[in-house]
């Protein structure tokens, strides 16, 4: 398995600790170094030019991370801006940052960003790593379940957690449905058809009036507010014969 090398530049110790924890949780990420001093970080990057992910804060003491991006670009494949200031989002992409993570963020947002970037690596590299991996927060501190997004059949909101129905099991995740929906934006097969359900349209078995039956036999209602969108989805994929067939 390929392990992608990571460097953190951030003057906030708590932010470094949290990123370090997330990186160590991943099977394919490796933390090379973390710096509070951007000058020392730059000197280190010049000596080691094989960094895959650079996590960069914007306000690092008197130094702006935005000013560092053009300088460190040559030393890393991907630059991920991690900041508490949403006002910098447009600036970050204008200067060629690859992703923007707004603090405070959670594990789901972190791994969604990382896996999307990993999918963008060369085809040879991508074939050697588990693609589209997600992590769900478990009931206890620092417990997570890993699964491939393609195996999701449906996600159901239940009180303070979600049931994620996959092709092999049902996983309980302690995330709001809205958070799950936002993290799946980059995957066009997912559709929210009810306030309590997101489905993977690849796993629809049948449709009857205002319900869908999934491949795991789960029957899900289609909300009236989502009916127009769902019918449009069906029309675009419904086979229509171009000629009459004699019977």
| Domain coordinates in residue numbering, the chain | 4-126, 147-237
Question: Can you give the pLDDT at residue 129?
Answer: 39
Per-residue pLDDT of 171-229, as tens digits, reads 988 888 888 887 787 788 899 999 999 999 999 999 998 999 999 999 999 999 999 99
Question: Can you give the pLDDT at residue 91?
Answer: 58
CATH topology of domain 4-126: Rossmann fold (3.40.50)
d(CA 152, CA 48): 39
Per-residue pLDDT of 79-109, as tens digits, reads 998 888 766 555 555 566 788 888 888 888 8
Residue 229 CB neighbours (<10 A): 13
Q: At residue 127, does pLDDT exceed 80?
A: no
Is the model's pTM score more than 0.75? no
Output 124 or 181, whichever has higher pLDDT: 181
Query: What are the backbone angles phi and psi of residue 33, rounded to the nearest 5°?
Result: -165, 155
Domain 147-237 in CATH 2.40.50.1020? The answer is yes
Query: Which residues lie below 8 Å from residue 152, measured CB to CB, with a gap of 6+?
Result: 164, 165, 166, 190, 200, 203
Cβ–Cβ < 8 Å for 110, 100? no
Output 95 or 47, whichever has higher pLDDT: 47
Q: Which residue, chain included where needed, has tokens 């994929």?
A: 237
């Amino acid at each position: 398995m390929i392990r992608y090398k990571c460097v953190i530049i951030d003057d906030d110790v708590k932010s470094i600790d949290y990123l370090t924890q997330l990186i160590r949780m991943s099977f394919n990420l490796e933390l090379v170094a973390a710096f509070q001093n951007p000058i020392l970080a730059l000197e280190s990057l010049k000596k080691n030019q094989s960094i895959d992910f650079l996590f960069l804060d914007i306000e690092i003491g008197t130094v702006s991370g935005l000013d560092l991006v053009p300088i460190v670009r040559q030393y890393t494949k991907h630059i991920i801006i991690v900041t508490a200031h949403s006002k910098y989002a447009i600036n970050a992409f204008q200067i060629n940052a690859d992703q923007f993570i707004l603090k405070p963020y959670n594990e789901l947002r972190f791994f969604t960003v990382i896996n999307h970037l990993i999918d963008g690596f060369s085809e040879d590299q991508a074939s050697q790593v588990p693609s589209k991996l997600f992590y769900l927060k478990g009931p206890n501190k620092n417990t997570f379940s890993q699964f491939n997004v393609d195996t999701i059949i449906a996600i159901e909101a239940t009180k303070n957690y979600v049931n994620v129905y996959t092709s092999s099991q049902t996983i309980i995740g302690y995330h709001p449905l809205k958070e799950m929906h936002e993290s799946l934006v980059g995957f066009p097969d997912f559709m929210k058809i009810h306030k309590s359900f997101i489905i993977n349209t690849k796993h629809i078995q049948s449709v009857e009036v205002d319900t869908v039956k999934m491949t795991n036999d789960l029957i899900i209602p289609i909300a009236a507010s989502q009916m127009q969108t769902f019918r449009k989805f069906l029309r675009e994929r419904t086979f229509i014969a171009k000629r009459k067939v004699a019977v």
